[in-house]
Amino acid sequence: MTPQPSSDRRIQNLFPFALASLLILGTARVFLDNLKNSQQPFSRQFSRHQTVRLPINVSDEEVIEEGCNVFEGQWVWDNLSYPLYTEKRCPYLVKQVTCRRNGRPDSFYQNWRWQPHGCKLPSFNALKLLEILRDKRLMLVGDSVQRSMFDSMVCLVQSVIPDGKKSLQKIPPRKIFRAEDFNASIEFYWAPFVVESNSDHATNHTVLRRMVKLDSIANHGRQWEGADILVFESYVWWMYEPLINATYRSPHTVQEYNVTTAYRLALETWANWIEASINPDTQKVFFMSMSPTHLWSREWKAGSDGNCFSESRPIQRPYWGSGSNLDIMGIVKDVLGRVKVDVRLLNITQLSEYRKDGHTSVYGERKGKLLTTEQRSDPKTYADCIHWCLPGVPDTWNEIFYALLLQDYRRL
C-alpha cells in the first residue's frame, strides 16, 4: 500500500503555487494602478451602449486655482504650442473658417495663447475630455458663431479617435459628431434667437423681414431634452437693427420691439424652460456671452477708416468696442442671476474683444461662396468682422470650457 504524504509535505507542495498566485495578483494590481494614473483613460466596452472605465487622473496643476478668474488676462505669443490643430488635419472644417486655405497670407492669428492673470489654464487633453463626455450628449445651441465653437471642439478631439470610430451627421437643425468608443456625441443646434423665429431653418434662414416669437420655445426645447451638457449663445442676430418684429402673448399680432426689450423677454422665456426642464443633478447648463465684432478700426486706431481687414496682432491695451452691447450683457447677467437652476456664464466677450486680428475678413464665405477677387479688393464692403478663423479664437473658448468641465469632474 502506497504511503500518503504527510501534512507538512502537502503544504510544501502548495507553496510554489501560492507564491505564483501572489506574484500574478501583485503584477495585475500594479498594472491597474498605472492605468488609473495614466493620462489616457482605460475602458472596456461590454455592450453597445454601456461602458466600464477607471477614472481619469486630474492633477493639481490642472485645477483652476481658487479665486482665479480665467476670463481676465492677456494674449501671449506662443508659436510652439499653438495652433492645437491645423486646417489640413481636421477634415470637418467648413470653408467659411479655413482662412489660410482660402488665401489669407499670414497665420499669426493661430499662435496666440490666452493667459489668465494669476493662474494657468490646463493643457487641453482630448482623451480626458472624451472620457468626461463618455455616455453623454454635449449640445451647443445658437447661431453661426456658436457653430464655430462646435467646429473647434470637433477639431480638438477628432484626431485621437481612430478612423471608423467617428462620424459627422447633418440632421437639420442639428449637426452631430459621434465618438463611438465613448458613446458620446458633440452636437450643434441652430437657434439664432434661442426662442423660435422665422430664421430657424438651418440653411435657408435669410429672410426679408425677421420675426421672433418671444414666448415660444417648445419646438426647440423638445430637441434639447436629454442633452447632458447644454451651452447656449444668442446675440449677433438681435443686433441687425434697433427695432425687431416680434410676437408676444398674441401669436397673430406682430409688433415692433426695442431690441433690448425683446431680448429680455426672449431670455426670460428661455429661463422658464430651463427651470421647468433641466434636472440640476444630472445636467449642466452654460450660457456664452456675446462674441464681439470689429467693424470700425477707428475704435482701436484713432483716425483710421477701416475694419478688421489686414489686422495681424491683438489689441494690447484695455479695450471694449461699440459692437458689444452693455445693455444686453446686463440683461444676460440679470436673468442668469435670477434663474433657479445653476447656469454658468462663459464670459468670453472681453478676451475676444482684443482679437481684432482673428476674423475671417475677406477670407471666408458670403452666401455660401468664397469671395471673388473683385470682392476681396473691397474690404470696406465685404470683410466679415463677425466670424472667426479656425484654428483661432473659438479654440480658446473651448479650452476654458474644458478647464471648467475638468474641475467639475475632479469634484465628483
Q: Please name every residue paired with 116 in a beta bridge, in sequence order, or none if there are none.
A: 73
Which is nearest to 393 in space by CA: 116, 142, 84? 84
CA distances from 135 to 90, 226, 227, 294 (A): 24, 12, 11, 39
Residue 126 C-alpha cell reads as 482630448
144 catalytic per annotation:
yes
322 in catalytic set: no
* The three three-digit cell numbers of residue 345, written as one number: 456664464
Half-sphere exposure of 44 (CA within 13 A, CB side): 4
The active-site residue out of 148, 152, 387, 395 is 387
Q: Which three cell numbers stand for residue 153?
A: 471642439
Query: In terms of DSSP bridges, do strands 211-213 and 184-190 run parallel, antiparallel, or are they unpaired?
Result: unpaired
Q: Which of 143, 144, 291, 359 is catalytic?
A: 144
Active-site pick, 143, 200, 384, 395: 384
The total of other beta-carbon atoms located within 10 Å of residue 340's CB is: 10
Question: How far apart, in whole angstroms, are the C-alpha atoms of residue 237 and residue 308?
Answer: 20
Residues with active-site annotation: 144, 384, 387
